[in-house]
């Protein structure tokens, strides 16, 4: 079925995690048959979708300031030429406080939660008759995935959601409330989507889930089936797809890092040597209060097992400083754990009190100034580790998947197996190829290199 000629302009602004990036792309796919084509600015858009994140207070507040600006634009356009700009709010804030959004910002036409966006086109059609539709709260991921149209990937790398939702209920986190319980898509559906991506020139896929290593589809045989069940089996299955040369996955929980998945890191060449495995804190007392269900020691044991399977693996993580009750000694334990692990990259956050979560009501809330100081100390350590990791690559030859043109003429940008951005002088035709690059210089965020001959792939 061919789409009608685009007649309407769609602008999507995405905040939050990679899953929101995936969801935004899928919303565009849902709207394309209605004649909506993407544009880069909201200025002339007929429909603006704000895909929102609820994880920290700042993220949520950002939604209201962005909506304030969109309201002005909407009014200016209506006054100038009578244009109608529809404003939709999607994502986790839409799920968590949809009614409040409609109340606080009357310019919003509709609100759609993360499990309802497959109905976006119907909602849009309806809003032109009545304002105030709100679709959220009914968590039915399967219905959504079944209803989504075919994808139209635009690049050589792509995200692919395989698991959604979370049952872990870490005491600081809103995700179980905004995304619902853990749900895993069927491997057949994932494989079909991955094959389709590969057929469109995608060479690297990142499997997404709020707890992606908890992946366990309904008819899975579990860890006893011959490929190991769960995410390990899925990775091995996707690794067989011709053209799909690189597989990554994110985000994982330490307690779901099973033996089969660790073994896959040592055995599946397509599985890239990079692992984002958030630990949050190095203090067992705090980990317990967070309901993480692991200790610092068990985390370090897991890391050791992964490194035994894949010695060069790059480890990344998330950290929270200033969780309620965190003392200096707890924070020192976090620094000690960080020193022991040695991170290639990491994300660190000040604890943010989220309404409705157990930690928000805990005694011992930490003063902002203390959080600031701890964050600065942790970041100094993590930055030094990231720099050291990047510098350790200088002089090595790495296979780089070139993704796009760089800022300077003649330059391309790609990724190393360890997810570092790498730039090098290379012809445009190498976009989409995996090319041998000798690393010549390192900065905190990226590497610079030069092509080596002969190339890994025919040019």
Largest interatomic CA distance in the chain: 66
- Please say which residue, 174 or 190, places its beta carbon nearer to ligand F3S: 174
- Please say which residue, 174 or 422, places its beta carbon nearer to ligand F3S: 174
Give first-to-last CA distance, the chain, whole Å: 35
Choose which of 151, 179, 248, 354 interacts with ligand F3S (CB under 6 A): 179
Work out the burial of residue 328: count CB atoms within 10 Å of its CB; fewer than 13 is exposed, 13-18 middle, 19 or more buried.
exposed
Choose which of 9, 11, 12, 19 interacts with ligand F3S (CB under 6 A): 19
Closest C-alpha to 406, from 396, 391, 421 = 421
- 314 near 361, Cβ under 8 Å? no
For tokens 């993580």, name the residue. 317
Closest C-alpha to 64, from 39, 38, 87 = 87
Residue 247: φ, ψ to 5°: -125, 135
- Measured from the CB of residue 167, what is the shortest distance to ligand F3S in angstroms? 14
- Measured from the CB of residue 208, what is the shortest distance to ligand SAH in angstroms? 10
Q: Which does 53 bind (CB under 5 to 8 A by kind): ligand SAH, ligand F3S, ligand SF4, none?
A: ligand F3S
- Please say which residue, 53 or 70, places its beta carbon nearer to ligand SAH: 53
Site for ligand SAH in 243-262 (CB under 6 A): 251, 253
- Measured from the CB of residue 172, what is the shortest distance to ligand SF4 in angstroms? 7
The size of the interface with ligand SAH (CB under 6 A), counted in residues, is 17
- Please say which residue, 53 or 430, places its beta carbon nearer to ligand SAH: 53
Give the separation between CA 450 and CA 356, rounded to whole angstroms: 52
Choose which of 320, 338, 366, 431 interacts with ligand SAH (CB under 6 A): 320
Q: Does 26 bind ligand F3S (CB under 6 A)?
A: no
Give the separation between CA 296 and CA 302, rounded to whole angstroms: 10
Q: How many residues does the chain have?
A: 459
- Please say which residue, 86 or 171, places its beta carbon nearer to ligand SF4: 171
Q: Does 320 bind ligand F3S (CB under 6 A)?
A: no
DSSP string over 284-313: HHHHHHTT----HHHHHHHHHHHHHH-TTP
Give the separation between CA 193 and CA 262, rounded to whole angstroms: 25
- Please say which residue, 55 or 205, places its beta carbon nearer to ligand SAH: 55
Cα dihedral 196→200→205→207 (10° resolution) = -30
H helix and E strand count, the chain: 13, 19
Q: Where are the alpha helices (DSSP H) in 105-222?
A: 120-127, 141-147, 175-179, 187-199
- Please say which residue, 45 or 93, places its beta carbon nearer to ligand SAH: 93
Site for ligand SAH in 379-418 (CB under 6 A): none
- Measured from the CB of residue 64, what is the shortest distance to ligand F3S in angstroms? 15
DSSP string over 240-283: TSTT--EEEEE---GGG--HHHHHHHHH-TTB-SEEE---B-S-
Q: Which does 56 bind (CB under 5 to 8 A by kind): ligand SAH, ligand F3S, ligand SF4, none?
A: ligand SAH
- Please say which residue, 168 or 387, places its beta carbon nearer to ligand SF4: 168
- List residues binding ligand SF4 (CB under 6 A): 166, 168-170, 173, 175-176, 210-211, 253
Give the separation between CA 195 and CA 202, rounded to whole angstroms: 9
Q: Which does 352 bind (CB under 5 to 8 A by kind): ligand F3S, ligand SF4, ligand SAH, none?
A: ligand SAH
Name the site residues for ligand F3S (rule: CB under 6 A).
16-17, 19-20, 53-55, 91-92, 174-175, 178-179, 210
List residues binding ligand SAH (CB under 6 A): 55-56, 172-173, 175, 210-211, 251, 253, 278, 280, 318, 320, 349, 351-352, 354
């Amino acid at each position: 079925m061919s789409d009608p000629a685009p007649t309407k302009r769609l602008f999507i602004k995405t905040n939050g995690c990679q899953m929101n990036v995936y969801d935004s792309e899928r919303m565009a796919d849902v709207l394309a048959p209605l004649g909506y084509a993407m544009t880069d600015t909201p200025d002339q858009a007929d429909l603006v979708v704000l895909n929102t994140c609820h994880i920290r207070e700042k993220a949520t507040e950002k939604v209201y300031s962005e909506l304030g600006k969109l309201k002005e634009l909407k009014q200016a356009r209506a006054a100038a030429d009578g244009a109608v700009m529809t404003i939709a709010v999607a994502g986790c804030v839409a799920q968590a406080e949809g009614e409040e959004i409609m109340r606080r910002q009357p310019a919003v036409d509709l609100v759609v939660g993360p499990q309802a966006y497959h109905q976006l086109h119907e909602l849009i059609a309806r809003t032109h008759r009545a304002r105030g539709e709100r679709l959220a709260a009914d968590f039915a991921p399967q219905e959504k995935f079944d209803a989504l149209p075919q994808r139209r990937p635009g690049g050589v790398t792509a995200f692919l959601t395989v698991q959604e939702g979370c049952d872990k209920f870490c005491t600081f986190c809103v995700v179980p409330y905004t995304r619902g319980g853990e749900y895993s898509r069927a491997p057949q559906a994932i494989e079909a989507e991955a094959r389709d991506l590969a057929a469109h020139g995608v060479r690297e896929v990142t499997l997404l889930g709020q707890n992606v290593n908890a992946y366990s589809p309904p008819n899975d045989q579990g860890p006893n089936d011959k490929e190991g069940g769960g995410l390990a089996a899925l990775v091995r299955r996707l690794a067989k797809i011709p053209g799909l040369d690189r597989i990554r996955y994110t985000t994982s929980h330490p307690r779901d890092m099973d033996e089969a998945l660790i073994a896959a890191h040592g055995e599946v060449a397509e599985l890239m040597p990079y692992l984002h495995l958030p630990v949050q804190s190095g203090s067992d007392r705090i980990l317990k209060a967070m309901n993480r269900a692991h200790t610092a020691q068990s985390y370090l044991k897991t890391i050791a097992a992964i490194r035994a399977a894949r010695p060069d693996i790059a480890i990344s993580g998330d950290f929270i400083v200033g969780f309620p009750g965190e003392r200096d000694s707890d924070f020192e334990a976090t620094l000690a754990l960080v020193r022991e692990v040695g991170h290639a990259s990491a994300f660190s956050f000040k604890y943010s009190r989220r309404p409705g979560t157990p930690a928000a009501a805990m005694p011992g809330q930490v003063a902002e100034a203390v959080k600031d100081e701890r964050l600065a100390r942790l970041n100094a350590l993590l930055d030094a580790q990231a720099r050291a990791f990047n510098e350790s690559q200088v002089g090595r030859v790495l296979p780089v998947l070139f993704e796009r043109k760089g800022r300077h003429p003649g330059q391309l940008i790609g990724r190393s197996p360890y997810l570092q951005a790498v730039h090098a002088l290379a012809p445009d035709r190498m976009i989409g190829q995996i090319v041998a690059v000798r690393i010549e210089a390192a900065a905190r965020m990226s590497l610079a290199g030069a092509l080596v001959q002969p190339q890994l792939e025919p040019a």
